[in-house]
Amino acid sequence: MKLFNINKNETEINQMSPLTWAYIGDAVYELYIRTNLVDTTNLKPHKLHIESIKYVKAKAQADALKNIENILTEEEKEIVKRGRNTQLHHIAKNASVQEYIHATAFEALIGYLYLTKKEERLIEILQMIARCS
């Protein structure tokens, strides 16, 4: 899933805020979902949007994290923990606080894997989530 090149090394990425990982992770996950929908359906843009919301909303992301927790490495669990424990400055209006916290942790994991160029693992996790949905 190599889209863009980031010029930071893993040490610099580890020092980033988990909210920065989540910021990138949100975009990466949404692009994955949109691409998958375009590839597997013949929906028109409005219907694509409606369908994609089912996957990218906080509750769905929190559920996705639950579905993959048992296959995460210790490093990935630590990334999730950091994402979960970060100070949130915003709560989604259509999600509980717990769902939003877990969705942020999920996005942090996706963003971290993307930023550290762990593309095979990122794809493996995204495909596992797609199979569970």
| pLDDT digit string, tens, across residues 46-102 | 999 999 999 999 999 999 999 999 999 999 999 999 999 987 767 767 888 899 999
Is the pTM higher than 0.75? yes
Q: Are 108 and 79 in contact (CB under 8 A)?
A: yes
CATH of span 11-132:
1.10.1520.10
Cα separation, 15 vs 76, whole angstroms: 15
Of all residues in the chain, what percent carry a pLDDT higher than 90? 83
Candidates 26, 63, 76, 99; catalytic one = 26
Strand boundaries in the chain, DSSP class E: none
Give me the pLDDT at residue 88, please.
73
26 is catalytic: yes
Q: At residue 4, does pLDDT exceed 80?
A: no
The CA R_g of the chain, rounded to the nearest whole Å, is 14
Give me the pLDDT at residue 89, please.
66
Domain boundaries, the chain: 11-132
